Amino acid sequence: MQSRQARPSLIRAVSPLSDIVLVIATALNKEGICAVLTGDAAAAMHLNPGQAVPRLNYSLTSPASASRLASAIRHLGFERADDGHYRHADIGVVLHLTDAPLSIGRDSKVVAQTLQLRHGFVRILSATDCCREQLLSSRAPGGGGALDKAVALAKRCDINMPDMRTWMRQQGMLGLWPDFKRPVEGTSRQTGAASAAARPSRPR
């Protein structure tokens, strides 16, 4: 295991997202701080863990003082800004830590998953919960990008669409269902049609 002094070298402008979130998770874990990665960064970890994300959102599952948080991540290059967030000037990333209960919409029974990476693990929202988060974000002005991410998650990950439709109805979002379902299922229909066309026809 690497020492604390060696860890800052792992966070550079060219570092993939997976390396950055792992270093942060390890630093927080060492101080006994349990945090769950949420938001766009969590979605990116399920879709493309090599991409750059300017903001990292974490939900703390137990209270931690500002001084304790600062102590845990200061050696990584993050400094507390006037707005209460932590900024890393070298990589252009803002770290947002909140002690609000982990919830998605009206659902407060959200259970994080542990994602095993090559050199450790991170606590993160499941792909399904990331999809739900993005669908909620898509209702905000200019939220088309969030809907695209929700569609991408549903295409790539094991998202149960009937369950998602039920959840959207409970959240009062059923009007968004056609715009979500159409591009998700469009790919599978096209793939099925292509596969059928590629199969040789049986002689009659």
Domain assignments of the chain as residue spans, ordered by start: 1-125, 127-186
Residue with tokens 């903001």: 55
Q: 204 pLDDT exceeds 60?
A: no
pLDDT for res 111: 92
pLDDT for res 190: 44
pLDDT for res 187: 53
pLDDT in tens, 34-84: 999 999 999 999 999 988 899 999 999 888 888 888 888 888 888 888 888
Query: Is domain 1-125 annotated with CATH 3.30.460?
Result: yes
Q: Whole-model pTM above 0.85?
A: no
